[in-house]
């Protein structure tokens, strides 16, 4: 699916991370990519993260999946909502919804959560710490958007849900199939199904917090510092007040800490690995390691490769013909023909590689590792 009526430049300039926007059906031809029964089936699978929220603003109870099939038949009349995470990992037609939003770099894209709600169903007024596009797939949903929130925003007491107390909407719309509501980080919003069979596709984005970056990078640095790398003061001078930590000592201590964290190239390598760690697991490892003979034959036949939908691929340029390739938390140094291969593997969709790669031992070695660890698969082996 692609957009045919969407001004990307205006959106990025005036709305991205600035204010909410209602986008009335911009698709060439909207088609709901998933049936409600299929979503319920996913919620019964042990490896799929799902939640059931029962009730309305007067009282909400949350249950966590997986759910037995009979649970949905046992639901009584009244509002309820089923939410299923990372549906794009299991349903290719849902994964296809991400493509029009790739004006945001891939490393920022998280997953597609799908919700189904009966009349009046919703999760309540809340805010997210990341951008989200809410695509109405089936039925109708009334969305109310409020002001920007933060950690000081009062929340209602609830054991499972972070609901805003005294939500004061500033805008309200009813979305029809194909309509999209963009909500920037931290803006309050509340969606309620208008009628039964309401399905919404939430395309969410990753936004690492400052705390996550500092904690993760510091931990990485600390693990590689020798114990003898310590404070020194060879120019120590007598001081009148021995109990004082002098400004000179503070400067030296501060520099000692910051110098260890200041290597930008090392930080980039760490971040590529950190950000490419998969959030969910979808095991694509072959039953037996791929053989060099089979790999050469499939490449020669131009058999398309596919990326595991749960895998994360990204690269960082280190020079004109050198890239660092990050796949599922691992880093691969790629030069020459491998640098071009790294970029192609990060392009998304079905990948048809140049048959000439059978002549490159390094390319065959890289592909072998990625196939054996389940990050890639030839279409016939999916």
Give the mean pLDDT of 98-118. Answer: 96
Q: Is 286 helix (H, G, I), strand (E, B) or coil?
A: coil
pLDDT class of 380 with cuts at 50, 70, 90: low
Q: What is the pLDDT of residues 319-330, one digit of tens each?
A: 888 999 999 999
- Does residue 252 surpass a pLDDT of 60? yes
DSSP 116-139: EE-TT----SB--SS-EEEEEEEE
- Rounded CA-CA distance 205/220 in Å is 25
pLDDT tens per residue across span 181-214: 999 999 999 999 999 999 999 999 999 999 999 9
pLDDT digits (tens, 9 = 90+) for 287-330: 999 999 999 999 999 999 999 999 999 999 998 889 999 999 99
| CA atoms of 267 and 216, how far apart (whole Å) | 10
- Are 51 and 63 in contact, with CB atoms under 8 Å apart? yes
- Domain 292-381, CATH 1.10.490.10 — does that match? no
Burial class for 249, CB neighbours closer than 10 Å (0-12, 13-18, 19+) = middle
Asked whether the predicted pLDDT for residue 169 surpasses 70, the reply is: yes
Which tokens is 277 given?
Answer: 């760690």
pLDDT of residue 320: 86
What pLDDT does residue 110 have? 96
Looking at residue 107, what is its pLDDT? 97
Give the span between the Cα atoms of 170 and 188, in whole angstroms: 10
**Secondary structure in 3-state letters for 238-275:** CCCCCCCCCHHHHHHHHHHHHHHHCCHHHHHHHHHHHH
15-62, pLDDT tens digit by residue? Answer: 999 999 999 999 988 999 999 999 999 999 999 999 999 999 889 999
Q: How far is CA 92 from the centre of its chain?
A: 17
Average pLDDT over residues 154-169: 94
**371: number of Cβ within 10 Å:** 22
Domain ranges of the chain: 8-205, 209-226+248-262, 292-381
Mean pLDDT of the chain: 95
Total-model pTM: 0.93
Instruction: Report, as an integer, the average pLDDT of 357-370.
Output: 95
Other CB atoms within a 10 A radius of the CB of residue 74 amount to 7
Dihedral angle at the C-alpha atoms of 193, 176, 202, 284, nearest 10 degrees? 110
List, in order, residues 6 or more apart from 119 with CB less than 8 Å away. 79, 193, 194, 195, 196, 198
Cβ-proximal residues to 329 (8 Å cutoff; 6+ apart), any chain: 273, 274, 276, 277, 278
- What pLDDT shows up at residue 287? 92
**β-pair partners for 201:** 114, 135
Per-residue pLDDT tens over the stretch 124-151: 999 999 999 999 999 999 999 999 999 9
pLDDT of residue 95: 95
Statement: residue 382 has pLDDT above 90: no
Say whether pLDDT at 381 is over 70: no
CATH number, domain 8-205: 2.60.120.650
């Amino acid at each position: 699916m692609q957009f045919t009526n969407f001004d990307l430049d205006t959106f990025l300039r005036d709305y991205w991370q600035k204010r909410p926007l209602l986008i009335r059906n911009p698709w060439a031809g909207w088609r709901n990519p998933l049936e409600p029964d299929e979503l319920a089936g996913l919620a019964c699978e042990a490896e799929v993260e799902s939640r059931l929220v029962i009730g309305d603003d007067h009282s909400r109870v949350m249950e966590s999946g997986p759910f037995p099939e009979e649970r949905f038949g046992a639901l009584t009349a009244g509002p309820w909502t089923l939410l299923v995470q990372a549906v794009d990992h299991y349903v290719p037609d849902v994964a296809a919804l991400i493509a029009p939003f790739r004006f945001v770099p891939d490393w920022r894209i998280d997953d597609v959560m799908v919700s189904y709600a009966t009349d009046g169903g919703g999760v309540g007024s809340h805010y997210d710490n990341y951008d989200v596009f809410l695509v109405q797939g089936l039925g109708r949903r009334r969305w109310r958007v409020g002001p920007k929130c933060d950690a000081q925003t009062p929340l209602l007491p609830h054991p499972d849900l972070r609901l805003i107390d005294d939500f004061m909407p500033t805008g309200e719309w009813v979305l029809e199939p194909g309509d999209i509501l963009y909500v920037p980080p931290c803006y309050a919003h509340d969606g309620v199904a208008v009628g039964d069979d309401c399905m919404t596709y939430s395309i969410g984005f990753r936004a690492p917090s400052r705390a996550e970056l500092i904690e993760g990078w510091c931990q990485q640095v600390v693990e590689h510092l020798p114990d003898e790398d310590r404070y020194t003061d060879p120019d120590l001078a007598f001081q009148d007040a021995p109990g004082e930590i002098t400004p000179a000592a503070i400067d030296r201590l501060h520099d000692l800490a910051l110098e260890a964290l200041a290597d930008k190239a090392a930080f980039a390598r760490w971040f590529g690995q950190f950000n490419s760690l998969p959030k969910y697991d979808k095991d694509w490892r072959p039953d037996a390691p791929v053989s060099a003979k089979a790999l050469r034959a499939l490449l020669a036949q131009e058999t398309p490769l596919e990326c595991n939908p749960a895998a994360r691929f990204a690269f960082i340029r280190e020079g004109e013909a050198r890239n660092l390739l990050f796949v599922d938390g691992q880093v691969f140094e790629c030069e020459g023909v491998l640098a071009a291969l790294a970029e192609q593997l990060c392009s998304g969709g079905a990948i048809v590689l140049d048959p000439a790669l059978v002549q490159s031992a390094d390319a065959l070695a890289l592909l072998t590792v990625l196939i054996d660890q389940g990050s890639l698969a030839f279409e016939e082996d999916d």
